[in-house]
Amino acid sequence: MAKKIVSLGIALIMVFSLGACDRTEPSPCETRPQICPQLENHIIESFVDYFNAQSGGSFSVNGTLAFRYYGTFNGNPVVLIRLMVPGITFSSETIAGITFTYPDRFQIRVFYNHNFYRLQRALDQGLLTVEDIEVIRCRHF
């Protein structure tokens, strides 16, 4: 009788274990991370200030722009912000052997300590890892 109970217990454990194998977690490429509106607004305002300081422009937050959030890596939000500037052509950059192509000169940036870093600089400074770059690439395409 005891052997039957043990055998039944082992069989139940195996059945439940097999059911767990069917469950798969979505890959980082399949998930679309969300950003809170306050942080999004802060990053956009900071980027417009940064862009105006770099280019001598006079863009405002109310101007036409596109915002894409790739996730937070090592505590740093990774974003792509596009100001709709006429006359700009395609650009690309290769980071850790991975090429990112953009329809304009605006590239993915890491927002860290109120500054914006291109992916290569963020990787060089340890703000991102190569694995982070791979996740960002799959979310970009």
Cα–Cα distances (Å) from 107 to 59, 78, 127, in that order, read: 17, 11, 17
In a domain, 8, yes or no: no
- For residue 102, being part of any structural domain is answered with yes
The model's confidence at residue 15, banded by pLDDT at 50, 70 and 90, is very low
| Structural domain harbouring 132 | 31-140
Residue 41 CB partners (closer than 8 Å, separation 6+): 61
Could you tell me the pLDDT band of residue 127, with boundaries at 50, 70 and 90?
very high
pLDDT, tens digit (0-9, with 9 covering 90-100), for 67-107: 889 999 999 999 988 776 666 677 888 999 999 988 777 88
Residue 12, in any domain of the structure: no
**Side-chain half-sphere exposure of 90, counting CA atoms within 13 A:** 4
Is residue 130 predicted with pLDDT exceeding 80? yes
- For 22-42, the pLDDT digits (tens) are 445 667 777 788 999 999 999
pLDDT of 86: 64
- Domain assignment present for 3: no
| Average pLDDT over all residues of the chain | 79
Q: Kindly give the pairing relationship between strand 76-83 and strand 109-112.
A: antiparallel
Q: Is residue 136 a part of any domain in this protein? A: yes
- 19 domain residue, yes or no: no
**Residue 22 belongs to some domain of the structure:** no
Cα separation, 3 vs 49, whole angstroms? 74
Domains of the chain: total: 1
Residue 101 domain flag: yes
